[in-house]
Structure 1
Amino acid sequence: MSTSIAPKISVIVITYNRPEFLKETIQSILNQTFTNFELIIVDNCSDYDFLALAHDFNDIRIKAFQNQNGGIIAVNRNFGILKASGEYIALCDDDDLWFPEKLEKQLYIMENCHEIGFCCTASLYINQTINRSFFRKFLSYLNFILISSNLIPGRYLLLLITYITNSSVMLRRSVLNVIGLLDEDPDFKAVEDYDLWLRISLKYRVFYLKDKLVNYRLHSHQISGADQHSLKRKKSKVLAKNFNQLNNFQRLIVRLSGAVVS
């Protein structure tokens, strides 16, 4: 690939101490059928030789950085976004995998649906220790809601936004110039993505692609009761932060969810 051609897409991966997962993730990204992208990997100063791992792939599209995030994931995701030069931003977590056609299919949508702020896709779940029945039921429910159109009106996205996986998202970099980057407030730790999707959906439409283009790795700690309780409190803070921007339908959803807003 010629270095004189600006990348169309900037892929942002943030990582910390997961070298084996990261290797698989990088390879799945490099295997994309669409090739005009840069891969920006931001490491939170891992204990192993991260730079050597990135260098071993011998691919000029990879740009590796190390930055201490102070325990706030949004810091390094924003760091990567600020390094990006692509027209579109695609996010991927360091333990997830992409199917080869992911970027190609999403780019086609973004180029032909100019009113959308971001495109997300369906995912497969690849940890066999987790009961997948809930996720299968949810995807069936989601497909039922969206049977007439893949374009999600903002008022309905509030119902579905919890289930958007970071690794499935492609967004316009210009959108971030309008609504801002991820919130680095420690109170929004682990829900900074939820806040970003909500802020984007209040100004733009969102495209849900039903193709399963991401292998999303589930871990048992992700569904613990304590974690879920903490996340619910933090999501209430996100909703409270954005409450004045919601329409009446969305505010009703917030009230029914039990979120505490002023």
Structure 2
Amino acid sequence: MSLHQEYQQPLVSVIIPTYNRPEYLKQAIASAIKQTYQNIEIIISDNCSLENPQELVESFGDSRIRFWRHQQNVGMLANQLHGFKMARGKYVASLHDDDIWNEDFLAKLVPPLEANSDLIIAFCDQYIIDANGIINDVGTEENTRGYKRDKLAEGIHQPFYKIGLIDKSIPTAASCVIRNNFVNWDSLPSEVGGMWDLYLAYLCCISGHGAYYYPERLTRYRAHEQTDTMLSGSRDVQAKLRKAKSEMFCYQVFMEDAHLQEFRVYFQQKWLDANTTFGIGLLRSEQIAAARPYFWKTLKKQKFNVRTLAAFGLSFTPRFLANKLMRISK
């Protein structure tokens, strides 16, 4: 690609939030630098890692990299949003510090957006890889089917409420490109927490603009022991509490949005499930009195919710027996 051709391309801001994962970060940065689509800036926002990654970042010697280090840990969401707010590009694309892009990721997702000014987002399918970067073939197929991307037609979807918020087909955290000026990054409230990617999909859905699906696996999502879903013990309980709290907030917003009333029953069920999950997390943290209102809130809407009834009953069971039963039910 000639220099003239390169800068005929619109600028894409690649956002890499990072925290305490230098080896993975190195791979993520390398995959951004190697993009065949060259007119990019790479924004690395470090959430006050124990080991400052600045030297690692500078070792690439690439003038397109912009590095920011917070002086204290500001939390995952604030660090992510800081990167988005630094973006100067026409388009933004989030790349987690433990994930990897194929070299043609941007080259294949930017053109549909350029061809249609009414599109807000373009996204693709993804591979699942393990801690060592090896593709998990079974996990990859399950991921594609689980998010119904195997049934999703290539091309434009408008509106895309169902694929964005029900099927959750759009991996906004690491496998999409978004038109920057269509999103107000200050409109993501802090309450969304770790569900920021779902809430971002929501903002894209209600914008009135369209989405484009490119049915090829162009990214590699890493599933490993440092992710919330792979934690254990008390850290696992805390991760589940955070996730359930974020889900309660998101689904409450979705339930009340006039754009989404045809899906209200679905969102209400997800909200009720999240209340029960949060209550169970409180039970496991020995916060019995705090847990009961969440079960009661669910039972007022669904009197015969078996999972909630069982958890509500456990809150009145002697602790030694309740703890034993909860261990069995894990």
Deviation at 1:162, TM superposition (A): 7.1
The correspondence for 1:97, drawn from 97, 100, 107, is: 100
After the TM superposition, which residues 1-262 of structure 1 pair with which residues of structure 2 at under 5 Å, given as runs?
8-68=11-71, 70-127=73-130, 133=138, 135-140=140-145, 142-147=148-153, 149=155, 151=157, 153-156=159-162, 157-161=164-168, 164-177=171-184, 180-181=185-186, 183-185=188-190, 187-203=191-207, 204-220=209-225, 221-223=227-229, 226=237, 227-228=239-240, 230-245=242-257, 246-259=259-272
Looking at structure 2, the residues matched to 222 and 88 of structure 1 have their Cα atoms a distance apart, in angstroms, of 29
Equivalent-residue separation in structure 2 for 1:75 and 1:231 (angstroms): 16
**How far does residue 205 in structure 1 lie from its aligned partner after superposition?**
2.4
Contact 1:118 1:171 in 2 (8 A): yes
Normalised TM-score (structure 1): 0.85
Distance 1:233 1:155 in 2: 22
Instruction: Point out where structure 2 has 5 or more consecutive residues left out of the alignment.
Output: 231-235, 276-296, 302-330
Instruction: Check conservation: 2:100, 2:219, Cα contact below 8 A.
Output: yes
The amino acid of 2:243's aligned partner reads L
Instruction: Determine if contact 1:122/1:209 at 8 Å carries over to the other structure.
Output: yes
Highest RCO, 1 vs 2 (Cα 8 Å, sep ≥ 6): 1
2: CA distance between counterparts of 1:152 and 1:73?
A: 31
Most deviating of 109-118 and 209-218 = 109-118
Q: Sequence identity of aligned pairs in percent?
A: 24
Structure 2 Cα separation of the partners of residues 47 and 229 of structure 1: 25
Q: How far apart are the structure 2 equivalents of 1:13 and 1:128?
A: 18
149-158 or 19-28, which deviates more: 149-158
Q: Does the aligned pair in 1 maintain the 2:121–2:211 contact within 8 Å?
A: yes
Residue-by-residue CA offset, 1:10-64 (whole Å, 9 max, x unaligned): 1110101111111111011100001000001011122223111111110100111
Equivalent residues of 2:170, 2:176 under 8 A apart? no
- C-alpha separation in 2, matches of 1:160 and 1:86: 29
Alpha carbons of 1:205 and 1:81: their partners in 2 closer, same or farther (altered >3 Å)?
Answer: same
User: Which amino acid in the other structure matches residue 206 of structure 1?
Assistant: A
Describe the superposition over 1:69-96 as per-residue Cα deviations: whole angstroms up to 9, x where unpaired: 6442221222222221110001100010
RMSD, matched Cα: 2.9
Offset at residue 189 of structure 1 (A): 1.7
| Higher helix fraction (1 or 2) | 2
Which string of whole-angstrom CA distances, capped at 9 and with x for unpartnered residues, describes residues 195-246 of structure 1?
Answer: 1211221123222322101111002453357445652442131121233323
What secondary structure is seen at the aligned counterpart in 2 of 1:108?
helix
Structure 1: runs of 5 or more not aligned = none
Distance of 1:44 and 1:33 partners within structure 2: 29
Q: Distance in 2 between matches of 1:173 and 1:70?
A: 26
Mean alpha-carbon deviation: is it higher for 128-137 or for 29-38? 128-137
Distance 1:181 1:256, change over 3 A: same
Normalised TM-score (structure 2): 0.69
Rg comparison, structure with higher value: 2
